[in-house]
């Protein structure tokens, strides 16, 4: 597969990061022959490029996982480059909640940039951002400084915290020719004025997207995009349900990869992969282990490495609920009747998500207990990004609720490039033992 063709733009610095380019195979994988690629037309009329079609047609779950692992590690953003090569424009969205569907309806490739992960060394961003800040903010800035974000024409930072908000102000200085936007996500969830305000905010974003994409916004296209994204949400929900009921068939470290690759792919390519994965995961004959069912709370923005997630499971946990890849879980479905922008705004405002980056309508202590019980968790693992204040402040209130109900928990902090795996393993094993034998 020729997905990754890193050609530094003339005059710009080459990306310093991807020493290891993704080994996306030249065949569609062991389990199957690539099906005859069907031209999938995107909203703007652009066809899915051969590279993306090839990826979409991967047949075998193990191969899909392998490609996902490589894709998310590739800091040259090959899908955005492939998109650009086909004449399209892409948007880099910072986590946690952003309206990808809007970009999609304008024929843009929406990508969530989850920082630089474990492979990126921070050499420039520290000076711009200051100390005491989370890794994802620094590595995202580092990606921008080193040219890795060049394939994108627009950058969107939601007001999930002051760091994300301020990052936009730095990016707009760094990339003066691009469209940048700080998306104000409202925090008043009771006012009737909030939904119209959010629609206005979306229209501001649309105006910028129209400029860089050259396409005009159309409500009917957005409804189509919402429909497709709803289908994807359904597929992810089914995978999550399988993970909750039979976590040995689809551990979270794998579910995570399947979801995460969707942050880089158009949903047209992602959805078939999810469906195929679900079918095959259901059929897996794996033996159930004696493990503790845990709810993982905290990594809603900066993500732990896949190795860290695997370690949690190896050390004796079944992760049966989590806050990873929250965008895919924010709302079960967005209604399709009526004005699509209003439907999106209503869905954001009226879905009472309990998460660190949105005001919570019910007490946190009660909420965490209800959430743990909903997934039948025996304990809670707080996995918070170092310096992530929204997560750190919630932990105290959550812990009080868990203490009241005598639900065990463990709190660990992580960083994108943390290597203290052995220490973490020991902590988790001790926690598991205490839950199993107390």
Q: For residue 41, what are the β-bridge partners?
A: 47
Q: Interface residues for other proteins in 157-176 (CB under 8 A)?
A: 159-163, 165-170, 172-173
What's the closest the beta carbon of residue 171 comes to ligand SF4, in angstroms? 13
Binder of residue 136, out of ligand SF4, other proteins, none (CB less than 5 to 8 A by kind): ligand SF4
What's the closest the beta carbon of residue 200 comes to other proteins, in angstroms? 5
**CA separation for the pair 342, 334 (Å, rounded):** 10
For 321: left if phi > 0, alpha if psi spans -120 to 50, otherwise beta; the answer is: beta
**CA separation for the pair 337, 392 (Å, rounded):** 39
Q: Are 385 and 161 in contact (CB under 8 A)?
A: no
**CA separation for the pair 313, 292 (Å, rounded):** 9
> Residue 314, interface with ligand SF4 (CB under 6 A)?
no
> Residue 370, interface with other proteins (CB under 8 A)?
no
Return the structure tokens found at 219. Answer: 């409500």
> Residue 49, interface with ligand SF4 (CB under 6 A)?
no
Nearest-5° Cα angle at 269, 263 to 275: 95
Binder of residue 337, out of ligand SF4, other proteins, none (CB less than 5 to 8 A by kind): none
Q: Which is nearer to other proteins, 58 or 141 (CB)?
A: 141
Strand order in the sheet with 292-297: 317-321, 292-297, 379-385, 409-414
How would you class 413 by CB atoms within 10 Å of its CB: exposed for 0-12, middle for 13-18, buried for 19 or more?
middle
> Residue 230, interface with other proteins (CB under 8 A)?
no
Return the structure tokens found at 428. Answer: 């988790």
Binder of residue 301, out of ligand SF4, other proteins, none (CB less than 5 to 8 A by kind): ligand SF4
Binder of residue 33, out of other proteins, ligand SF4, none (CB less than 5 to 8 A by kind): none
> Residue 388, interface with ligand SF4 (CB under 6 A)?
yes
Q: Which of 12, 187, 350, 423 binds other proteins (CB under 8 A)?
A: 187
Binder of residue 302, out of other proteins, ligand SF4, none (CB less than 5 to 8 A by kind): ligand SF4
Phi, psi of 280 (to 5 degrees): -75, -35
What's the closest the beta carbon of residue 377 comes to other proteins, in angstroms? 20
Q: Are 39 and 48 in contact (CB under 8 A)?
A: yes
Q: Which of 65, 134, 239, 428 binds ligand SF4 (CB under 6 A)?
A: 134
Q: Which is nearer to ligand SF4, 164 or 277 (CB)?
A: 164
Closest to 350 in 3D by CA, of 368, 335, 363, 365: 335
What's the closest the beta carbon of residue 323 comes to ligand SF4, in angstroms? 11
> Residue 143, interface with ligand SF4 (CB under 6 A)?
no
Binder of residue 421, out of ligand SF4, other proteins, none (CB less than 5 to 8 A by kind): none
Binder of residue 403, out of other proteins, ligand SF4, none (CB less than 5 to 8 A by kind): none
- The stretch near other proteins (CB under 8 A) out of 44-52, 64-72, 112-120, 361-369 is 361-369
Return the structure tokens found at 53. Answer: 């079609």
Size, binding site for other proteins by CB under 8 A:
55
Spatial neighbors of 306 by CB under 8 A, at least 6 apart, are 69, 72, 253, 256, 257
Q: Which is nearer to other proteins, 121 or 403 (CB)?
A: 403
* Distance in angstroms between the alpha carbons of the first and the last residue of the chain: 52
- The stretch near ligand SF4 (CB under 6 A) out of 104-112, 124-132, 234-242, 386-394 is 386-394
**CA separation for the pair 301, 295 (Å, rounded):** 16
Q: Which of 182, 326, 334, 377 binds other proteins (CB under 8 A)?
A: 182
Spatial neighbors of 140 by CB under 8 A, at least 6 apart, are 94, 113, 115, 116, 167
Q: Interface residues for ligand SF4 in 150-179 (CB under 6 A)?
A: 160-161, 163-164
Measured CA to CA in angstroms, residue 231 lies from 41, 63, 95, 274, 322 at distances of 17, 23, 21, 10, 21
What's the closest the beta carbon of residue 220 comes to ligand SF4, in angstroms? 35
Spatial neighbors of 419 by CB under 8 A, at least 6 apart, are none
Q: Which of 392, 417, 425, 429 binds other proteins (CB under 8 A)?
A: 392
Phi, psi of 85 (to 5 degrees): -60, -30
Binding site for other proteins (CB under 8 A): 126-133, 137, 159-163, 165-170, 172-173, 182, 184, 186-194, 196-197, 200-201, 356-357, 359-360, 363-365, 386-387, 389-390, 392-397, 399
Binding site for ligand SF4 (CB under 6 A): 134, 136-137, 160-161, 163-164, 301-302, 357, 385, 388-391
């Amino acid at each position: 597969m020729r997905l990754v063709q890193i050609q530094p733009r003339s005059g710009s610095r080459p990306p310093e990061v991807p020493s290891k380019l993704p080994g996306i195979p030249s065949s569609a994988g062991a389990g199957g022959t690539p099906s005859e690629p069907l031209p999938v037309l995107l909203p703007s009329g652009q066809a899915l490029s051969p590279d993306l079609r090839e990826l979409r047609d991967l047949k075998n779950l193990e191969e899909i996982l392998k490609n996902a692992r490589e894709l998310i590690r590739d800091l040259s953003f090959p899908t955005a480059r492939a998109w650009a090569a086909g004449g399209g424009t892409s948007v880099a969205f910072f986590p946690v909640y952003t309206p990808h569907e809007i970009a999609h309806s304008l024929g843009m490739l929406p990508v969530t940039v989850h920082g630089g992960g474990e492979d990126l060394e921070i050499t420039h961003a520290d000076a711009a951002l200051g100390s005491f800040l989370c890794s994802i903010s620094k590595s995202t800035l580092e990606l921008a400084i080193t040219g890795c974000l060049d394939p994108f024409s627009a950058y969107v930072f939601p007001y999930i915290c002051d760091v994300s908000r301020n990052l936009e102000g730095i990016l707009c200085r760094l990339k003066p020719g691009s469209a940048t936007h700080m998306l104000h996500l409202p925090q008043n969830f009771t006012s009737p004025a909030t939904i119209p305000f959010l629609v206005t905010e979306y229209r501001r974003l649309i105006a910028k997207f129209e400029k860089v994409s050259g396409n005009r916004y159309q409500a009917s296209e957005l409804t189509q995009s919402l429909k497709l994204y709803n289908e994807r949400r359904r597929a992810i929900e089914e995978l999550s349900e399988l993970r909750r009921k039979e976590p040995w068939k689809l551990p979270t470290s794998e579910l995570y990869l399947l979801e995460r690759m969707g942050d880089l792919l158009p949903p047209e390519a992602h959805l078939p992969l999810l469906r195929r994965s679900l079918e095959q995961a259901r059929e897996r004959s794996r033996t159930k282990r004696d493990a503790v069912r845990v709810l993982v709370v905290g990594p809603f923005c900066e993500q732990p490495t896949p190795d860290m997630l695997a370690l949690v499971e190896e050390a004796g946990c079944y992760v049966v609920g989590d806050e990873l890849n929250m965008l895919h879980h924010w709302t079960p479905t967005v209604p399709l009747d009526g004005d699509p922008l209003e439907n999106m705004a209503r869905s954001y405002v009226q879905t009472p998500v309990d998460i660190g980056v949105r005001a919570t309508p019910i007490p946190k202590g009660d909420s965490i207990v209800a959430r743990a019980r909903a997934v039948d968790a025996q304990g809670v693992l707080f996995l918070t990004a170092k310096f992530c204040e929204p997560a750190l402040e919630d932990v105290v209130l959550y812990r009080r609720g868990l203490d009241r109900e005598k639900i065990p928990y463990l709190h660990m902090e992580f960083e994108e490039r943390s290597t203290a795996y052995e220490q973490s393993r020991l902590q988790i094993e001790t926690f598991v033992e205490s839950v199993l034998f107390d």
